[in-house]
């Protein structure tokens, strides 16, 4: 898990399979600004941009800033679909290497579905 905004944002983009351009559209934050938050200088966004980025990703600003968010550990708080809650609960119980393997499988399935 990332330990700063840049790392956590990069991990979340990878996890969700989003590009910076896609996030720019979803969050109404300029791609250039997002690039600066992800770059070597790793500038911090202003609060309003951080809120829009977090909302577009479905996470909290707290999670993006410090990589921790207790609400992410209880997905039932915000996911009503029982199958999704079950999957998230099981995923959270896996070892990190098994989580990576699971994500790789899901990404392959998505590519297959999308015809890529």
Which domains does the chain carry?
Answer: 5-68 (1.10.260.40), 74-114 (no CATH)
Low pLDDT (below 70) residues in the chain: 1-2, 69-82, 116
- Residue whose entry in the numeric block shows the structure tokens 């790793």: 42
pLDDT at 1: 52
Distance between CA 48 and CA 50 in Å, rounded? 5
| CA diameter of the chain | 41
pLDDT value at position 2?
57
Cβ distance 89 to 83 under 8 Å?
Answer: no
pLDDT for 75 equals: 43
pTM: 0.61
Query: What pLDDT, on a 0 to 100 scale, did the predictor assign at position 45?
Result: 92
Question: What pLDDT is stored for residue 36 in this prediction?
Answer: 92
Distance (Å, whole) CA 20 – CA 56 = 12
Amino acid 76: pLDDT? 45
Nearest to 56 by CA among 26, 20, 87: 26
């Amino acid at each position: 898990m990332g330990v700063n905004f840049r790392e956590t944002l990069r991990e979340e983009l990878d996890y969700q399979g989003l590009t910076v351009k896609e996030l720019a559209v979803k969050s109404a934050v300029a791609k250039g600004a997002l690039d600066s938050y992800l770059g070597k200088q790793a500038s911090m966004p202003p609060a309003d941009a951080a809120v829009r980025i977090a909302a577009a990703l479905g996470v909290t600003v707290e999670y993006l800033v410090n990589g921790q968010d207790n609400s992410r550990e209880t997905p039932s708080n915000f996911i009503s679909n029982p199958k999704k809650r079950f999957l998230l609960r099981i995923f959270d119980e896996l070892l990190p290497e098994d989580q990576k393997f699971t994500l790789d499988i899901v990404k392959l399935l998505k590519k297959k579905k999308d015809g890529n």
